[in-house]
A and B are shown apart, each in its own frame.
Chain A
Amino acid sequence: MAITPPANRLWWNEPVERTEALWIGIALLWAVIMFVMMPYWHIYGQQNLSTEAYKISPDAYTEKVEAFVEKYKIREEGDTGIPVVKPPAGADIYMLGRLWEWYPILELEKGKQYRFHLSSVDWLHGFSIQPTNINLQVHPGYEMVLNMTPTESGEFGVVCNEFCGIGHHTMLGKIYVK
């Protein structure tokens, strides 16, 4: 029994029963398939997270964001006057997470690639574009850089999905894709 020492002193020498052997083969095969899927997708898939990132101070990053907003701002929105920014296709986009907003609002073109930069100036935030459902982790002190191509038009919410204090549930951004 499993609660007593093995009856056979040299249990290692017992042959493996057929059902187990068969299942071991099947399970190993499945393990290999699942493993291969990840490198496979890196080569043939179109949704892979870039590993480009830099260490950066929150102040230096904020400056980049402000310069970006200044350059491409087209209007303001909401009671607090959040800038809406429309960069040209292929441009670098600097987006900032802070308590408790995603800054600025973006207006993008469908089917065009953008170079996204993401960072936080205070705590951890979760960058979650809905309803397309892309979820990234944003750290203070790290600038993540990735290429992103919106494939559908519409109004998208950017939810913060990493707990960031009492106002966490009000941290909501916006991306328009036209």
Chain B
Amino acid sequence: MSELESGKSGGADEPVPFMQQILDNPFILLFLGVAAPSVLYTVWGVMEVISIPVAQ
């Protein structure tokens, strides 16, 4: 238990760690979850299709 205890918050005023703030913010996560696949999958994929050359 001791390790768990040691991880517990010291007090109510201790600041929330940065990563936890990200994970606690639905709208940052919503943005990431839409932006990442839109760029990596959709936009990149559309570019690939567009750049297929025309046959001679």
Contacts and interface: CB of A to CB of B under 8 A. Distances in A.
B9 A54 contact: no
Contacts of A61: 55
A26 to B, nearest CB: 22
Interface string B1-27: 001101111001010110110010000
B53 interface: yes
Contacts of B53: 54-55
Contacts of A60: 55
Contacts of A143: 55
Residue of A9, A12, A143 with most partner-chain B CB within 10 A: A12
Interface of B: 3-4, 6-9, 12, 14, 16-17, 19-20, 23, 52-56
8 contacts: A9-B12, A10-B9, A11-B20, A12-B17, A53-B52, A55-B52, A60-B55, A61-B55
